[in-house]
Protein backbone atom coordinates (compact mmCIF):
# COMPACT_ATOMS: atom_id res chain seq x y z
CA UNK A 1 0.00 0.00 0.00
CA UNK A 2 1.07 3.56 -0.61
CA UNK A 3 -0.32 6.68 1.08
CA UNK A 4 -0.88 9.51 -1.39
CA UNK A 5 -2.07 13.09 -1.54
CA UNK A 6 -2.15 15.83 -4.15
CA UNK A 7 -0.83 19.23 -3.13
CA UNK A 8 0.73 22.51 -4.18
CA UNK A 9 4.37 23.03 -3.32
CA UNK A 10 5.10 26.37 -1.70
CA UNK A 11 8.08 28.55 -2.73
CA UNK A 12 10.96 28.67 -0.21
CA UNK A 13 10.38 32.33 0.55
CA UNK A 14 6.73 31.63 1.46
CA UNK A 15 7.75 28.71 3.69
CA UNK A 16 10.28 31.04 5.33
CA UNK A 17 7.46 33.49 6.07
CA UNK A 18 5.32 30.66 7.43
CA UNK A 19 8.12 29.38 9.64
CA UNK A 20 8.08 32.85 11.25
CA UNK A 21 4.59 31.90 12.49
CA UNK A 22 5.88 28.70 14.08
CA UNK A 23 6.57 29.86 17.59
CA UNK A 24 4.78 31.35 20.55
CA UNK A 25 2.58 28.38 21.56
CA UNK A 26 4.03 25.81 23.97
CA UNK A 27 3.55 22.04 23.70
CA UNK A 28 2.63 21.84 20.03
CA UNK A 29 4.28 20.01 17.14
CA UNK A 30 5.32 22.64 14.60
CA UNK A 31 5.54 21.51 10.98
CA UNK A 32 9.04 21.66 9.50
CA UNK A 33 9.22 24.27 6.70
CA UNK A 34 10.26 21.53 4.24
CA UNK A 35 6.99 19.71 4.98
CA UNK A 36 4.69 22.71 4.47
CA UNK A 37 2.35 22.37 1.49
CA UNK A 38 -1.23 23.08 0.47
CA UNK A 39 -3.23 19.88 0.09
CA UNK A 40 -5.73 19.76 -2.78
CA UNK A 41 -6.87 16.16 -2.29
CA UNK A 42 -5.99 13.58 0.34
CA UNK A 43 -6.10 10.18 -1.39
CA UNK A 44 -5.00 7.95 1.47
CA UNK A 45 -3.78 4.36 1.23
CA UNK A 46 -4.08 2.72 -2.17
CA UNK A 47 -2.69 -0.49 -3.65
CA UNK A 48 0.57 0.30 -5.41
CA UNK A 49 -0.63 -0.99 -8.84
CA UNK A 50 -3.18 1.86 -8.80
CA UNK A 51 -0.39 4.45 -8.87
CA UNK A 52 0.07 4.47 -12.69
CA UNK A 53 -3.69 4.95 -13.14
CA UNK A 54 -3.76 7.83 -10.70
CA UNK A 55 -0.73 9.32 -12.42
CA UNK A 56 -2.35 8.94 -15.83
CA UNK A 57 -5.57 10.57 -14.64
CA UNK A 58 -3.73 13.51 -13.06
CA UNK A 59 -1.59 14.02 -16.14
CA UNK A 60 -4.81 14.69 -18.08
CA UNK A 61 -5.86 17.57 -15.80
CA UNK A 62 -5.77 20.84 -17.72
CA UNK A 63 -5.79 24.07 -15.76
CA UNK A 64 -4.00 27.39 -16.12
CA UNK A 65 -1.31 28.64 -13.77
CA UNK A 66 -2.42 31.21 -11.20
CA UNK A 67 -1.24 33.17 -8.18
CA UNK A 68 -2.10 32.56 -4.56
CA UNK A 69 -1.84 34.61 -1.40
CA UNK A 70 -1.87 33.07 2.06
CA UNK A 71 -3.61 35.03 4.76
CA UNK A 72 -4.73 34.70 8.35
CA UNK A 73 -4.28 31.94 10.89
CA UNK A 74 -6.98 29.74 12.39
CA UNK A 75 -7.63 26.31 13.89
CA UNK A 76 -9.51 23.13 13.10
CA UNK A 77 -11.26 21.44 15.97
CA UNK A 78 -13.52 22.96 18.58
CA UNK A 79 -13.00 25.36 21.47
CA UNK A 80 -12.13 22.59 23.92
CA UNK A 81 -9.99 20.52 21.59
CA UNK A 82 -8.16 22.41 18.88
CA UNK A 83 -6.45 19.90 16.60
CA UNK A 84 -4.63 21.85 13.92
CA UNK A 85 -3.24 25.36 13.60
CA UNK A 86 -3.10 26.57 10.03
CA UNK A 87 -2.55 29.52 7.70
CA UNK A 88 -5.43 30.28 5.36
CA UNK A 89 -5.67 31.06 1.66
CA UNK A 90 -7.18 34.16 0.10
CA UNK A 91 -10.29 33.19 -1.90
CA UNK A 92 -9.18 32.03 -5.35
CA UNK A 93 -11.51 30.79 -8.07
CA UNK A 94 -8.65 29.16 -10.03
CA UNK A 95 -7.77 27.07 -6.99
CA UNK A 96 -11.37 25.79 -6.76
CA UNK A 97 -11.40 25.01 -10.47
CA UNK A 98 -8.14 23.09 -10.20
CA UNK A 99 -9.35 21.18 -7.17
CA UNK A 100 -12.58 20.27 -8.97
CA UNK A 101 -10.68 18.97 -11.99
CA UNK A 102 -8.34 16.91 -9.82
CA UNK A 103 -11.35 15.47 -8.00
CA UNK A 104 -13.07 14.53 -11.29
CA UNK A 105 -9.87 12.96 -12.61
CA UNK A 106 -9.45 10.81 -9.50
CA UNK A 107 -13.05 9.65 -9.55
CA UNK A 108 -12.56 8.78 -13.22
CA UNK A 109 -9.52 6.75 -12.15
CA UNK A 110 -11.78 4.74 -9.85
CA UNK A 111 -11.34 6.42 -6.46
CA UNK A 112 -14.34 7.15 -4.25
CA UNK A 113 -15.49 10.77 -4.41
CA UNK A 114 -14.27 12.99 -1.55
CA UNK A 115 -17.37 13.87 0.49
CA UNK A 116 -15.64 16.61 2.52
CA UNK A 117 -15.54 20.16 1.26
CA UNK A 118 -12.02 21.41 0.63
CA UNK A 119 -10.89 23.99 3.13
CA UNK A 120 -7.59 25.18 1.64
CA UNK A 121 -4.95 25.68 4.32
CA UNK A 122 -1.31 25.15 5.17
CA UNK A 123 -0.87 23.26 8.43
CA UNK A 124 1.54 24.99 10.81
CA UNK A 125 1.18 22.84 13.92
CA UNK A 126 -0.61 19.84 15.40
CA UNK A 127 -2.11 20.67 18.75
CA UNK A 128 -3.03 17.41 20.47
CA UNK A 129 -6.44 18.69 21.56
CA UNK A 130 -5.48 22.02 23.14
CA UNK A 131 -8.03 24.41 24.65
CA UNK A 132 -8.58 27.43 22.41
CA UNK A 133 -8.06 29.78 25.38
CA UNK A 134 -4.35 28.98 25.16
CA UNK A 135 -4.27 30.08 21.54
CA UNK A 136 -6.20 33.33 21.70
CA UNK A 137 -3.20 35.63 22.03
CA UNK A 138 -1.33 33.77 19.25
CA UNK A 139 -4.34 34.02 16.93
CA UNK A 140 -4.77 37.71 17.67
CA UNK A 141 -1.07 38.50 17.26
CA UNK A 142 -0.96 36.80 13.85
CA UNK A 143 -4.42 37.66 12.52
CA UNK A 144 -2.97 40.14 10.03
CA UNK A 145 -0.58 37.59 8.50
CA UNK A 146 -0.49 37.82 4.74
CA UNK A 147 2.08 36.38 2.33
CA UNK A 148 3.15 37.90 -0.95
CA UNK A 149 1.19 36.66 -3.97
CA UNK A 150 3.15 33.78 -5.47
CA UNK A 151 2.77 32.05 -8.85
CA UNK A 152 1.96 28.36 -9.24
CA UNK A 153 2.94 26.48 -12.34
CA UNK A 154 2.42 22.86 -11.27
CA UNK A 155 0.74 20.56 -8.81
CA UNK A 156 2.32 17.51 -7.22
CA UNK A 157 1.38 13.94 -6.29
CA UNK A 158 3.09 13.14 -2.98
CA UNK A 159 3.54 9.92 -1.08
CA UNK A 160 3.65 10.00 2.68
CA UNK A 161 5.56 7.51 4.78
CA UNK A 162 6.36 7.38 8.45
CA UNK A 163 9.97 8.29 9.22
CA UNK A 164 11.70 8.34 12.60
CA UNK A 165 10.56 11.85 13.40
CA UNK A 166 7.15 11.86 11.72
CA UNK A 167 5.72 11.85 8.21
CA UNK A 168 8.08 12.10 5.26
CA UNK A 169 6.53 13.51 2.09
CA UNK A 170 8.10 12.60 -1.27
CA UNK A 171 7.04 13.99 -4.66
CA UNK A 172 6.01 11.06 -6.89
CA UNK A 173 5.04 13.11 -9.96
CA UNK A 174 4.64 16.73 -11.00
CA UNK A 175 1.96 18.06 -13.37
CA UNK A 176 2.30 21.38 -15.16
CA UNK A 177 -0.54 23.88 -14.97
CA UNK A 178 -1.32 24.74 -18.56
CA UNK A 179 -4.49 25.67 -20.42
CA UNK A 180 -6.29 23.08 -22.54
P1 LIG B 1 -3.47 18.45 7.32
O2 LIG B 1 -2.10 19.04 7.12
O3 LIG B 1 -4.52 19.46 7.44
O4 LIG B 1 -3.49 17.40 8.37
C5 LIG B 1 -0.79 14.59 4.14
O6 LIG B 1 -1.23 13.92 5.27
C7 LIG B 1 -1.67 15.77 3.82
O8 LIG B 1 -3.01 15.32 3.57
C9 LIG B 1 -1.75 16.79 4.94
O10 LIG B 1 -1.66 18.08 4.36
C11 LIG B 1 -3.11 16.57 5.53
O12 LIG B 1 -3.77 17.70 5.95
C13 LIG B 1 -3.90 16.05 4.37
N14 LIG B 1 -5.04 15.27 4.82
C15 LIG B 1 -6.34 15.52 4.55
N16 LIG B 1 -7.13 14.59 5.07
C17 LIG B 1 -6.34 13.73 5.74
C18 LIG B 1 -6.58 12.57 6.52
N19 LIG B 1 -7.81 12.07 6.69
N20 LIG B 1 -5.52 11.95 7.07
C21 LIG B 1 -4.26 12.44 6.89
N22 LIG B 1 -3.97 13.52 6.16
C23 LIG B 1 -5.00 14.17 5.59
Q: Is the CB of 94 under 6 A from ligand 1?
A: no
pLDDT tens track for 99-146: 999 999 999 999 999 999 989 999 999 998 999 999 999 999 999 999
37 an active-site residue?
yes
121 an active-site residue?
yes
CB pairs under 8 A, 24+ apart, for 171-175?
171/9, 172/4, 172/51, 172/55, 173/55, 173/58, 173/59, 175/58, 175/59, 175/61
Ligand 1 mean position to 5 CA, how many Å? 8
**Selected catalytic residue, list 8, 102, 121, 127:** 121
Q: Is the CB of 159 under 6 A from ligand 1?
A: no
Q: Which residues of 106-117 are buried (b: 16+ CB within 10 A; e: fewer)?
A: beebebeebeee
CATH code: domain 2-176 is: 3.90.1140.10
pLDDT tens track for 15-61: 999 999 999 999 999 999 999 999 999 999 999 999 999 999 999 99
pTM, two decimals, is: 0.96
Q: Is the CB of 123 under 6 A from ligand 1?
A: yes
Task: Tell me: pLDDT of 4 over 70.
Answer: yes
Ligand 1 mean position to 96 CA, how many Å? 18
Amino acid sequence: MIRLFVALELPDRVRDRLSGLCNGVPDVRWVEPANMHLTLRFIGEVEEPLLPEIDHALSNVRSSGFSLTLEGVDIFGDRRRARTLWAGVQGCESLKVLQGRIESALVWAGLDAEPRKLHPHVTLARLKGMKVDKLVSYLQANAAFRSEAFPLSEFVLYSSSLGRSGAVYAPEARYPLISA
